[in-house]
Amino acid sequence: MAMFEALVVLHVVTGAIGLTAFWGPIVTRKGAANHRKWGRAACYGFLGAGALAIAMALLSLYGPEARHPEITDRALFDGLFGWMMLYLGILTIGFVDYGLAVVKHNRTRRALRRPRYQAVIAAVIVSGAYCGFYGFAVGHPLMMLVAFIGIVAMLIQQRYIWRRNDPPRGTHIGEHFRALIGMGISAYTAFLSVGLIRMIPEHVFNPAIWAGPSVIGVSLILYFTVKSKRAAAPRPSGPRPHPQ
């Protein structure tokens, strides 16, 4: 129990750093020094929180003691705080890894086909598929929803990585942005699980609360995608002068 509680404290610390710094890159000018500084802080915080989420999930599933014995629906508990938290931890790491990689390799996109990057994407897909399957088995739609979102995101990333022709210049910026917003969605959802069971245990299985980060995050992706497309659209030229 002492080890699990220590992991929770570390998860809260690293998660708080990531969750706070996450908004810095969104509100600062893209590519500026402050944007990069806040982005690095968010990524490092979420990497730590994701790794700790994986450790806590494994302890919840296979630890020597049952976590929160007051919860009677153990199958659903294992689903949300075991398999889904395990998946969200891997998903968070996967989004961070890809979001940084597309910027690092923006001129050498084929480097993302290396086994080192493909293994991370495969881990997300496999863990997401099992999370969705388990959610179907216990009848919890949230597990299926988050699994679907993560798997679709990985397939979109693979489309960018494996497309035959080089994409238009600057496409990697959109990939970078979507990945780090996805990082925030998965991290907020995983971080929420730690607080829910302690602060409002009567709503711990309420899918409406759990779905909040996904709704906000997807809305941000849509908003900034539309905004960037409008900014990149060619502006109409002024009226041509009439010949004299």
pLDDT tens per residue, range 75-119: 877 887 789 889 988 998 999 999 899 989 988 899 999 999 999
Looking at residue 134, its pLDDT comes to 94
Cα 191 to the center of its chain, rounded Å: 12
pLDDT: which is higher, 119 or 61: 119
238 occurs within a structural domain: no
159 occurs within a structural domain: yes
Q: Report pLDDT digits (tens) over 122-170.
A: 999 999 999 999 999 988 888 888 888 889 889 988 998 998 888 887 7
pTM of the model: 0.79
237 occurs within a structural domain: no
For residues 121 and 72, give the distance between their C-alpha atoms in angstroms, rounded to a whole number.
34
236 occurs within a structural domain: no
Split into its structural domains, the chain has a count of 1
Burial bucket for residue 134 (CB in 10 Å: 0-12, 13-18, 19+): buried
242 occurs within a structural domain: no
Looking at residue 67, its pLDDT comes to 65
241 occurs within a structural domain: no
Contact in structure between 121 and 190 (CB atoms under 8 Å):
no
146 occurs within a structural domain: yes
212 occurs within a structural domain: yes
For residues 53 and 156, give the distance between their C-alpha atoms in angstroms, rounded to a whole number.
25
Looking at residue 7, its pLDDT comes to 82
Report percent pLDDT > 90 for the chain. Answer: 18
Alpha-carbon Rg for the chain in angstroms: 20
Average pLDDT (34-62) is 88
Type of residue numbered 39: G
Q: Which of 108, 86, 87, 98 is nearest to 43 (CA)?
A: 98
Helix (H) or strand (E) holding 118: helix 115-138
Q: Say if residue 2's pLDDT is above 70.
A: yes
Domain that holds residue 146: 2-230
Residue 41 CB: number of other CB atoms within 10 A?
A: 17
